[in-house]
Amino acid sequence: MPENTPIQSFDRSPVLPSLSQKLCHPDQLAIGLASLARPLVFTNGVFDVLHRGHVMYLEQARALGASLIIALNTDASARRLGKGPDRPLNNEMDRACVIAALASASLVTWFDEDTPLQLIERVRPDILVKGGDYDMDKLAETALVKSWGGRALALPFVTGYSTTALVRKIRQSDLSGKATGDIA
């Protein structure tokens, strides 16, 4: 595809070329990874309704290396996490485009499995990063990254920011018919 040609998203809306350069189908990872500087940092998540906590986390992750790969749970994978049958609120392509628009993102891809293990095996990052609410020693992803000499780190959890709490607050506001104030 020529560099300035917009790709088509799943809903047929055009994606700007600057964003499409950061979006990488999992089957095209070898091509996407070839241009990224090392050390390579990898993180993953749903990133359904992007908030300040997400942005701060991704900025901190990017600061650990030269490039940051962000892997998103597909819609089906996100639903299996048990956040509710109507989640994610934003579809996978919309979430990918929003994340790709961040300066901290070097490459955005996605995975349909329950965990990103297979994707991590293909990417072989130097550093795996998760939020501080994870026990890194209990994650299979940690053992995998350490098997080739990589590191696994948990960044401090940014308190006061939660997509689940945000969605709950919006729903309560809708039910009561009035605004509930600041949403954090």
Buried b (16+ CB within 10 A) or exposed e, 95-113: bbbbbbebebbbbbbbbee
What is residue 49's predicted lDDT score, i.e. its pLDDT?
A: 87
CATH code of domain 18-159: 3.40.50.620
Residue 89: which region, alpha, beta or left (left: phi > 0; alpha: psi -120 to 50)? alpha
- Kindly calculate the radius of gyration of the chain based on its CA atoms and give it in whole angstroms: 17
pLDDT for 76 = 93
Query: What does the pLDDT profile of the chain (184 residues) look like in tens digits?
Result: 334 334 444 444 556 657 889 999 999 999 999 999 999 999 999 999 888 889 999 999 999 999 999 999 999 999 998 877 888 999 999 999 999 999 999 999 999 999 999 999 999 999 999 988 889 999 999 999 999 999 999 998 777 666 666 667 766 776 666 655 554 4
**pLDDT at residue number 70:** 98
pLDDT of residue 108: 98
Q: What does the domain layout of the chain look like in residue ranges? A: 18-159
Please tell me what DSSP assigns to residue 28: G
Q: For residue 176, what pLDDT is reported? A: 66
- Amino acid 139: pLDDT: 95
**Nearest CA to 67 among 109, 20, 15, 11?**
109
Query: Under a CB-based contact definition with an 8 Å cutoff, are residues 122 and 88 in contact?
Result: no
Residue whose entry in the numeric block shows the structure tokens 């300035």: 4
Alpha-carbon dihedral sign for residues 81, 84, 89, 91: positive
Interatomic CA distance for residues 145 and 70, integer angstroms: 16
pLDDT for residue 137: 93
